[in-house]
Amino acid sequence: MSAIGPAGRASLMAHLVAYYPDRESSFHTALGLVDAGVDFLEIQFPFSDPTADGPAIQEACATALETGFTMAGGFQLVGELAQRTDRPIMLMSYAGPVFARGVARFVSEAAERGVAGLIVPDLPLDPQYNEGLFEAARGAGIEAVPVVVAGAPEERVRLVLEWEARYVYVALRRGTTGDQTTLTPEAVAFLDRIRSAGVYTFAGFGVSSREQVEQLGAHADSVVVGSAFVRTVHARKEYGPAQVRNGVYHLAAELVGGPRGPASRNGRRRRGRSRSGLGRL
């Protein structure tokens, strides 16, 4: 499967929390990331009880809810972003808000707003526990992305392959988001195994440096950076949307290996759409 990013390197997926620290800042954060050259945006719709997240994203979710995030507002924001960039938008949330919306409704709203994929870690691929998310997404022409943990038993990998998932998200270690990850030989072997089956592989959890991105990039199609961006937003949130945008822009530019020029639609340069066969592309 062809990579999204430029030849010779893996693509980068940057994670942000909608409405963190407020709606406007999160909108500019997203555009800053796109302008710095990230290939995917992963936008988290906050939940009051994010059990898979570490302290940085927990704090972001709590703040986002305080500053007025609603599901309707979140979809509106995502829709506006999709108008401004060609980069695929992945929508991440928890079973709680997705189920409350109604899975079918959540999926169709996401598809209508131009979302390419859905990541809901506590709705696993197992048919009895996913509330029909995976089939509904496929029916709407987008993809729900199953998660596997590096080192998972073969039967968990088989579940993903049998579903003929287009993407898979490989969590590089146990635990929650945020803590530093060391790439183990076992994780590398696991990534290579998944990728050899032809599934577009996102790899993440605890990635925050250029060195890690390069290391991982040899074994995954796309490297996910989450808490590092969220922490950058946190550090600058008192200084307003422009400073938040600058912060994430510079971190993203460093992670992708130098700025690749503006790519949002009001920018000077736009990269062509990729040919990866991504949901909405």
Partner 1 sequence: MQGQADGPRRAAESDSDKGRRGRQGAAGQGRHDFFGEFGGRYVAEVLRSPLDELEIAFDEAISDSAFQRELDGVLRDYVGRPTPLIAADRISDQIGGARIYVKQEGLAATGAHKVNNAVGQALLARRMGKSRIIAETGAGQHGVAVAAVCARLGLACDVYMGELDMRRQKPNVFWMERYGARVLPVAGGSATLKDAVNEALRDWSASFEDTHYLLGSVLGPSPFPDMVREFQAVIGRETQAQCAERGIEPAALLACVGGGSNAIGFFSPYLENEGTRLIGVEAGGRGTDPGEHAARMRGLGRPGIVHGYKSLFLLDEDGQVLPTHSVSAGLDYPGIGPQLAHLGRTGRVEFRRATDQEALEALDYFARTEGLLFALESAHGAAAAPAVAMEYSNDQAIVLNMSGRGDKDLFIGARELDREGWKRFLKEEYESL
Residues 175-204 that bind partner 1 (CB under 8 A): 175-176
Sign of CA dihedral 52, 55, 60, 61: positive
Q: Is-catalytic flag, 42?
A: yes
Q: Which of 45, 37, 44 lies closest to 10 in space, CA to CA?
A: 37
Nearer to partner 1 by Cβ, of 128 and 196: the residue is 128
Q: Which of 52, 21, 37, 254 lies closest to 169 in space, CA to CA?
A: 52
State in angstroms the smallest separation of the CB of 39 from partner 1: 24
For residue 38, which phi and psi values (nearest 5 degrees)? Answer: -70, 155
State in angstroms the smallest separation of the CB of 176 from partner 1: 5
SS3 172: coil
Nearer to partner 1 by Cβ, of 59 and 254: the residue is 59
Q: Residue 156, interface with partner 1 (CB under 8 A)?
A: yes
Q: Which of 21, 37, 124, 262 binds partner 1 (CB under 8 A)?
A: 124
Q: Which of 174, 265, 270, 273 binds partner 1 (CB under 8 A)?
A: 174
Longest CA–CA separation in the chain, Å: 49
Catalytic residue among 53, 109, 131, 221: 53
Q: Select from 7-15, 59-67, 82-90, 227-235 the region that touches partner 1 (CB under 8 A).
A: 59-67
SS3 231: helix
| Rounded Cα–Cα distance for residues 171 and 151 (Å) | 10
Q: Is-catalytic flag, 53?
A: yes
Q: Select from 62-70, 187-195, 251-259, 264-272 the region that touches partner 1 (CB under 8 A).
A: 62-70
Any idea which residue has 């050259």 for tokens? Answer: 37
Q: Which of 21, 121, 204, 217 binds partner 1 (CB under 8 A)?
A: 121
Structural contact between residues 216 and 207, judged by C-beta atoms closer than 8 angstroms: yes
Q: Which of 67, 84, 99, 104 binds partner 1 (CB under 8 A)?
A: 99
Distances (CA, A) of 188 to 95, 171, 177, 200, 210: 29, 12, 19, 15, 17
Q: Residue 122, interface with partner 1 (CB under 8 A)?
A: yes
Residues 10-49 that bind partner 1 (CB under 8 A): 47-49
Structural contact between residues 28 and 244, judged by C-beta atoms closer than 8 angstroms: yes
Q: Select from 128-136, 180-188, 189-197, 220-228 the region that touches partner 1 (CB under 8 A).
A: 128-136
Nearer to partner 1 by Cβ, of 130 and 227: the residue is 130
Q: Which of 125, 113, 131 lies closest to 149 in space, CA to CA?
A: 125
Count of residues touching partner 1 (by CB under 8 A): 49
State in angstroms the smallest separation of the CB of 256 from partner 1: 28
For residue 248, which phi and psi values (nearest 5 degrees)? Answer: -70, -30
Sign of CA dihedral 271, 275, 278, 281: positive
Where helices occur in 103-261 by DSSP H, the ranges are: 103-112, 133-139, 154-162, 185-196, 210-217, 227-236, 241-256
Nearer to partner 1 by Cβ, of 197 and 243: the residue is 197
Binding site for partner 1 (CB under 8 A): 47-52, 54-55, 58-59, 62, 65, 70-71, 94-101, 121-124, 126-130, 132, 135, 146-149, 152-153, 155-156, 158-159, 162-163, 171, 174-176
- Active centre residues (catalytic): 42, 53
